[in-house]
Amino acid sequence: MTIDSVEPCFADESKIRVTARISEDVGGLLPYLNAVLANATYVPDRPALTFTKGVRLVTVYPTRVTIAKADDLSDAEETLGWLAERLGWCGEHREEIEPVFEGKVRVKPLDIYGLLPGTNCGECGERSCLAFALLLLQDKHRPADCAPLYRDKDMEARRGRLGELTRALGIGE
Q: Give the Cα separation of 163 and 172 in Å (integer).
A: 9
CB of 159 to ligand SF4, least distance (A): 11
By beta-carbon proximity to ligand SF4, the closer residue of 43 and 136 is: 136
Residues 35/100, Cβ–Cβ less than 8 Å: yes
Tell which residue, 72, 75, 80, has the closest CA to residue 20.
Answer: 80
Q: Give the Cα separation of 124 and 147 in Å (integer).
A: 7
Binding range to ligand SF4, per CB under 6 A, among 27-35, 74-82, 87-95, 118-126: 118-126
Binding range to ligand SF4, per CB under 6 A, among 22-30, 43-51, 56-64, 122-130: 122-130
63 interacts with ligand SF4 by CB under 6 A: no
Binding range to ligand SF4, per CB under 6 A, among 8-16, 24-32, 79-87, 125-133: 125-133
61 interacts with ligand SF4 by CB under 6 A: no
Classify residue 14 as exposed, middle or buried by CB count within 10 Å of its CB (0-12, 13-18, 19+).
Answer: exposed
166 interacts with ligand SF4 by CB under 6 A: no
CB of 145 to ligand SF4, least distance (A): 7
126 interacts with ligand SF4 by CB under 6 A: yes
119 interacts with ligand SF4 by CB under 6 A: yes
Residues 72-111 contacting ligand SF4, CB under 6 A: none
Binding range to ligand SF4, per CB under 6 A, among 7-15, 75-83, 90-98, 144-152: 144-152
114 interacts with ligand SF4 by CB under 6 A: no
Site residues (vs ligand SF4, CB under 6 A): 116-117, 119-124, 126, 129, 132, 146-149
